[in-house]
Structure formats: structure tokens, C-alpha cells
Structure 1
Amino acid sequence: MIEERHGILSPYSLLVLLVPIAALIFVLSFGNLLSLNYLHVLTGGTWTGIDLFMGIVMSRVMKGLDPQARTQVIKRLVPVMLFLMPALASVAITSGINLADRMGILTFGSPTIIAAVVIVIILSVQGFGIMMPTEIKVFLELRKKEPDRDKIIRWGMRNVKIAGSQGAFQVAVIFVMANLALGFV
């Protein structure tokens, strides 16, 4: 059983991690091309929407809050973002690669595929190399008996801004994917 201290971990945190992964395993094992496409669009769209919301809306909201309120919002966001976003990103990327492969368009001679790969690499470096480690730092700081509010706010705000950047890259990858869907490989 996971210890819930200061509301950081909850069964919901684990649920948001496991549902997308379970869906991917199910679709890859038993699904058809349509279900794989649906999973890819659903997880990719959710990932994009959350990043755009975080970058456009939450960054403005957070700037207007006092430090105590910012800390409380970040404390509530961390369990969800720490588990949900890596799950969504991993499932969207994995299902997208599998989808392109099954459709026969995963060729690295295609400028469109190369553009998609470059954007996905940028998103992965930002998400798994910057945002996720920062979420872990926030998580660990929040577990302390006396967390450093300034660190939590600084790290949380950085991730909110990076999420906005991710949203812009995801809009670019949607453009590339739309071209792939129309056959402009």
C-alpha cells in the first residue's frame, strides 16, 4: 500500500498512469487499425490539450495567485501531472509509431516522417528530460516535513511554461500528422 502523505499520492494518481498503458497493451494485443488510430488520436489530443491549457491558462492563473495558493495548486497538480503526462506521451508516441508502421508509411526517406520524428524527439526531451525530473523534484520537496515553497513555485512555474512550449510543438506535429493522414508522405 502506498503511503499518502500530504495528499501527494493517491489511487487516482496510479489510475491515470495505468489506464492509458492498459489501453495500449489491449489495443496492441487485440485491436485493429481503427482502435490503434483512435487510441493515438485520443492520447495525443489529450496530451496536447493539457499542455496548451497549462501554458495558456494556468500560467496566467498561477501568476495572479499569492505564494501560498500557488504552492497549494502545484501540490494538487503534481500527482496528476507526474503520472498522467508521461503515460499519455508514451502511449501517444508508441501508438503513433505502431500506426505508421502498420499503415506502411514509416519510412525515414519521407520528409514528413522525419519532421514528425524531430518534433517527437523535442517533445520527449522536454517531457522526459526536463518536466518529469522537475515533477519528481517537486514531489520529493512536498514530501518533506517543511517543504521549501520558493523552490516548489519556481519549479512548478517552469514546468507550466515548458508545457506551453510543448503545446506549440504539438500543434506543429498535428500539422505534420494531418499531412500524413492526407497521404502527403
Structure 2
Amino acid sequence: MTNGGGTGMQIPWHYLWYAAAALALMVVAIVGGDLWLLNFMHVFTGLLWTGIDLFLGFVLGPIMRTLDLPTRKAIAAKLTPRTMFLMPTVSIVAGTTGWFLADQMGLNAMPWPQYGWVAAALVLLGLMTVVGLGFLTPTNVLVCIELHKPDPDMAKVGRWMRRYFFLAAAQGVMQILTVVIMARFRVGL
């Protein structure tokens, strides 16, 4: 399937297999009640989600703003198809396994004020989900489609990418706050 436009750019549907495998493994960990696998999946996908968000928001974003339009276009054209499936998958798996892990560890049943840490993690997860799935992923798709048109509107792409990297930076700040909370969970509330 092409995205309209004369370049014949293909949406990388083969990445769906990786997403499906990650989601299937998540279901196995949840249904099987395997605490180690659940923890591994939560930590691994959380690491990917956090690392990529921090890299995009605080490293690549500022660099992209200094590059000329053709270079930005070339980088974005290669980056967006790869993150189109990766970021939603790792965010869904990290958040979902985190909820079930917290439940199995009894964190969801903690009394106040300890439950405040759980509530803070849930608020951050909700915000990051809305930003990621509601704004970053659709922007990713729009940029990918626009960049593969014969004559892309680079002003439009520039606006989208400024918003994208600003939101990725905001996501990065929320990720850092989440790491603080997770470290608190690890050493005890």
C-alpha cells in the first residue's frame, strides 16, 4: 500500500509482526501470572519508551531545529516509519504490564499516603498515553505521508515537527518523573 504521492513509499507493515509478538508475549505474561516475565517486559519496554522519548525530545529535537530543510526531511523520512509502530507498542506494553505488575505486587491496594505514589504513576501514564497516542503517533503518520509526496509541504512538516519535538520533550520530562516514582517503588514506599 502506498501513501498516495509518486514516490511509492510503503508503510512498513512488516513492523506489525514485532508489535503483535510483543503484545502476545504481554498477554502470556499477564494470563500466566509470571511475575518475572511481567517485570521483565515492564522494565524492558519502559526502558525503550523512556530512552527513545528522552533521545527524541532532548537530543534529536534540538539538533533537527539547526539543520537545513533537506537534511531534516531526509532524517524524518527515515525516522518516522520506524517509530510509527515502535512507540505505540512499547508504551502500551509498558503501561499495561506496569498496571498488572503493581496489582500482583499489592501496590494498587496500598493505603494513603503510599498510594499517592501509585496515583502519581497512573496520572503520568494517562498523560503520556494521551500525548503519545493522541498527538505524537498521528503526527508521525502525517509527517511520514507528507514527506513521501512528490512535492511535500515542508512548512507544514516543519510546524508538525516543532510540535512533535516539543511534545516529545514534555513526554521526556514525564518519563523522568516516572523513573523517580519507579525508583521509589523499588526501594519501598
Range into which the TM-score falls when normalised by the shorter chain? 0.7 to 0.9
Give the distance between the partners of 1:149 and 1:142, measured in 2 at CA.
8
Selected match of 1:61 from 60, 63, 71: 63
Q: How far apart are the structure 2 equivalents of 1:85 and 1:125?
A: 13
Summarize deviations over 1:17-49 as a string: whole Å, max 9, x none: 334223312322446101100100000011000
Q: Does residue 131 of the first structure (1) align with residue 131 of the second (2)?
A: no
Report the Cα distance in structure 2 between the residues aligned to 1:6 and 1:156, rounded to whole angstroms. Answer: 22
- Is there any run of 5+ residues in structure 1 with no aligned partner, and where? none
Name the counterpart of 2:149: 144
Q: Which runs of 4+ in 1 moved over 6 A?
A: none
Between stretches 90-99 and 119-128, larger displacement belongs to 119-128
| Contact 1:46–1:88 (CA under 8 A) maintained in structure 2 | yes
Identity across aligned pairs (percent)?
A: 34
Q: TM-score, normalised by structure 1?
A: 0.88
Match of 1:176 among 177, 181, 185: 181
Aligned length: 183
Q: Among residues 111, 115, 122, which one is paired with 1:117 in the alignment?
A: 122
* Structure 1 residue aligned with 2:99: 97
Conserved? CA contact 1:75–1:142, under 8 Å:
yes
8 Å Cα contact 1:39/1:95 also seen in 2:
yes
Report the equivalent of 1:78: 80
Alpha-carbon distance between aligned partners in 1 of 2:98 and 2:177, rounded to the nearest angstrom: 15
Identify the residue that residue 163 of structure 2 maps to in structure 1. Answer: 158
Give the secondary structure class of the aligned counterpart of 1:146: coil
CA offsets 1:101-153 (integer angstroms, 9 cap, x no match): 11111137511111111111111121112112212222332353422122122
Greater shift, 22-31 or 158-167, is seen at 22-31
Asked if 2 retains the 8 angstrom alpha-carbon contact of 1:8 and 1:75, the reply is no
Task: Render the CA deviation track for 1:153-183: whole Å, top value 9, x for unaligned.
Answer: 2212321221122111111111111212222
Contact 1:123 1:169 in 2 (8 A): yes
**TM-score of the superposed pair, with normalisation by structure 2:** 0.86
C-alpha offsets along residues 71-95 of structure 1, whole Å, 9 cap, x if unaligned? 1111111111211101110000000
RMSD of the TM alignment (CA)? 2.1
- Measure the CA separation in 2 of the matches of 1:16 and 1:93: 18
> Mind listing any 5+ residue stretches in structure 2 that lack a counterpart?
none
Counterpart position of 2:20: 18
| Matched residue type, 1:26 | V
Residue 88 of structure 1: which of 84, 90, 99 is its match?
90
Structure 1 residues 28 and 121, CA, compared in 2 at 3 Å: closer, same or farther?
same
